[in-house]
Structure 1
């Protein structure tokens, strides 16, 4: 299959970027947050805009220490730019899609030729995981931007260099990736197969002996990029002097990084999880070609092609890195996908000749199949938001505000959607804090005229179900509004150590 174009290389690259934006951005104005991650990150960004706490993020007035803030900064910027939170949440991922597409086209063209660059971008845009990640409002969709830029800079330096400017560009991108999510350094894993290729004298890699000082300077660039958040964050914590701030530093720099990688407390999966449960589905249709690609890569490696060793070795190291962690989610390995399609793209012409050598008529329909496949992804972008409908928390919190007439609402075992779509002042005692229902009962007794939002599983502990007002189901629970009159008298608790009160100045649409 040969896809010839009459366009200049630059124009063709821009057209492929436009195609990526069109496919990934399909249905953008219809999408709403539909999971806890999207609700959380949108809420944190909105709270940043409201309270001005840019360096220490908050969730319903409580410090949010799970992730660094760069993604939330990006969402907040797009909210300010567009005035539409539901649109702004997905724009960082859309930007990532365009940049990653440009990176693949340019590297494919430079390492091989324009046709290979084109195939690399089309493989990327044809893959299932591209849409399952880049159509979401999650950190990993934004992380892809920095990893793609770090991957680009290192490839320009190691395989097409020496280009120290691109190396430092890559280091800066990795630093910004780290303050998006701690694993933003993974492009640096490329240095391992590169060092092996240089030592063994493989062709296709650039030798740079006697440059220890320049390599070391790259680490400084990474740290300086991280310091765009770390330094003002530490200054802010020290200036405030509160114990919560110092606890935040420990949580975000140690517990949520090294501790989480070594001993995750969520999403624990076996070491083979990605290879058995994720890749066969989410890397379709590319996985269908693996029985032919793997022997072909082996032959290229036997010829000591350093390009294949560095790119394929990096992909395998990324998979190994995430597989060794006890916590695994399907989106973690997405950063490896651009490297995989780039190393697979040069084999596409050979694969097509091998598959269709005796089926010339069938080969003519291959471009049509590609167009139809991409067209289906475009259509799905509009169909999914319609099928999903409105976020159920939105209707539930509107009902709660109506039932309580806008009075203070205590949240018990709450989820991010309750906070994001709150239409009245909310009170809570810490996210996922134990004894919250007992503390809520005491709070209602001490504050007449207030209400509590309680899930069905905890309702009878402290309240009379027959005096509760049912609202509906979200977050795998039925929710009820109660006031002090529903108190069954069974719950007594000490005054909570922390009480957080929060109200939106402007509701999410």
Structure 2
């Protein structure tokens, strides 16, 4: 039967065109705002340092081995920056690719095992949900692993359904194991454990006990181990403490312990997901039409998969006290399906199409508006702090950060070498809460020799600075209150957070070059008004 013009919106797009459209939509605003501290600055900085150092095996934060997370995000980011340079969209490309994988696999799975209408609307709902859109625009690991988890679940579920119908299934299952390996390399054990939990629960509820044998499919395990195994083995061989730190501490201790950042109640994710998926979430609040679902209709296999998937992800991340919003991004694809199903249930297509077009445009506008709001209200002033045009750090100069580590600065200054970080390191100890100091101290455990040359005790600062070389000092914009000797340095740039000084050093290596004249008053603090050269572009 010939399709009418009103239903052309529902025709199935070609997969390559769909992927291109998804990528273009998610990439469209990836460049408009500077990196946000600390997360985006941290992960982009590690990727850039991987590129500059030429060591693509060990992720490094300020030159020190950084094993909070595996390397897949850094590999993709470093590869993108090798082609485009250190620009924001290249730093965010891993997240964008994760979002494209999630949306594309959702569409392809539903097109095969449900209807084209439901597949297309679910995908549209997903990519125009502010939660998903903003997650794809943020340079951290959450969206990348969400894409891997989504692809693993859907490819494995497709293999199960195809096997039941005596259709080809091995390629899909191999793809599921491949994406599980990518999930392991993206964010560790959750990349494989969460999809396994979803699939095992789904098979148990739908009584697909025979399908459980696919979990022991040897070719799949060979793919997983061949892809993910070498990096973990290499790190354990090089750093004997790697397993205890990466697996025990970063996975199990963090999951079970309190005292970390971002503690929230058990129900935290429920209002978060409802609020950040508007306006689409509103459809779930619309009373169901009587003819939408006949009495006694049973949930199909796909329905069960989506409900179980949503419940497992939300419940898993609700258990630990420490919660970040991005953790539940893997729950958005099933939620998008459930919303789309509610929208389409029992409603004539001719009546729905005008409303859906308007709703899609409104949702897309909300996504862009949220991005603009972040640019205006959530981006720190002068986040792209640069040196004035007439000043530049020469190759022999050293950069020293005072009692702080500004994550995004090495990215924007394109520093090829680690910076020196001054602080009271001996008194810092092993801090329980996450911050820049704990991250550097944790990294220092794996390379004490490099750490000794990078993490400078405040009492040894004079030895570092009183040398015949120029130093660029970066610290809080009121750092002169605690370091009156900064009156000897030239203030070259500052904003509401940080300031930069240029210190000429001492040609004679005078160990007292930081001393103030006896009896001289301490210079007044500078750069506390927020006015000056901020270099924000």
Q: TM-score, normalised by structure 2?
A: 0.74
Aligned partner of 1:288 among 282, 303, 312: 282
SS at match of 2:322: coil
Q: What residue is the counterpart of 1:350 in the other structure?
A: 345
Aligned-pair distance for 1:448? 5.2
How far apart in 2 are the matches of 1:380 and 1:455? 31
Matched, 1:411 2:410: no
Which runs of no fewer than 5 residues in structure 1 stay unpaired? Answer: 200-205, 238-244, 491-508
Q: TM-score, normalised by structure 1?
A: 0.78
How far apart in 2 are the matches of 1:192 and 1:299? 29
Q: What residue is the counterpart of 1:72 in the other structure?
A: 74
Q: Output aligned runs, 1:36-185, within 5 Å.
A: 36-83=38-85, 85-162=87-164, 163-182=169-188, 183-185=190-192
Tell whether the 8 Å contact from 2:49 to 2:60 is kept in structure 1 after alignment. yes
* Distance 1:269-1:477 versus aligned 2 partners, 3 A rule: farther
* Distance 1:379-1:410 versus aligned 2 partners, 3 A rule: closer
How far apart in 2 are the matches of 1:40 and 1:476? 17
Structure with the largest fraction of helix: 1
Aligned partner of 2:328 among 319, 330, 333: 333
Q: Which of structure 1's runs of 4+ aligned residues deviate more than 6 A?
A: 293-302, 388-391, 403-406
Aligned partner of 1:373 among 359, 362, 372: 362
How far apart in 2 are the matches of 1:65 and 1:474? 32
* Distance 1:382-1:37 versus aligned 2 partners, 3 A rule: closer
Q: What residue is the counterpart of 1:500 in the other structure?
A: none
SS at match of 1:392: coil
How far apart in 2 are the matches of 1:301 and 1:216? 41
* Distance 1:398-1:15 versus aligned 2 partners, 3 A rule: same
Aligned-pair distance for 1:92? 2.4
CA RMSD, Structure 1 to Structure 2 (Å): 4.0
Tell whether the 8 Å contact from 1:18 to 1:98 is kept in structure 2 after alignment. no
Tell whether the 8 Å contact from 1:31 to 1:87 is kept in structure 2 after alignment. no
Tell whether the 8 Å contact from 1:82 to 1:88 is kept in structure 2 after alignment. yes
Q: Output aligned runs, 1:292-441, within 5 Å.
A: 292=286, 303-350=298-345, 352=347, 365-373=354-362, 376=365, 380=369, 387=376, 392-397=382-387, 402=392, 407-412=397-402, 413-422=404-413, 426-428=419-421, 432=437, 438-439=458-459, 441=461
1:21-67 CA-to-partner distances (Å, cap 9, x unmatched) read 23211134545423322222222222212222222111221222221
How far apart in 2 are the matches of 1:320 and 1:427? 42
Tell whether the 8 Å contact from 2:283 to 2:343 is kept in structure 1 after alignment. no
How far apart in 1 are the matches of 2:286 and 2:280? 11
* Distance 1:447-1:269 versus aligned 2 partners, 3 A rule: farther
Matched, 1:443 2:476: no
Aligned-pair distance for 1:437? 6.2
Matched, 1:261 2:255: yes
SS at match of 1:180: helix
How far apart in 2 are the matches of 1:49 and 1:96? 21
Matched, 1:227 2:229: yes
Aligned partner of 1:279 among 273, 278, 281: 273
Aligned-pair distance for 1:160? 4.0
How far apart in 2 are the matches of 1:420 and 1:63? 18
Which runs of no fewer than 5 residues in structure 2 stay unpaired? Answer: 426-435, 442-454, 506-511, 519-536
**Higher mean C-alpha displacement, 17-26 vs 317-326:** 17-26
Count of residues paired in the alignment: 468
How far apart in 2 are the matches of 1:137 and 1:56? 19
How far apart in 2 are the matches of 1:291 and 1:365? 20
1:268-304 CA-to-partner distances (Å, cap 9, x unmatched) read 222121113x112212223212335899999899725
SS at match of 1:334: helix
How far apart in 2 are the matches of 1:136 and 1:397? 26
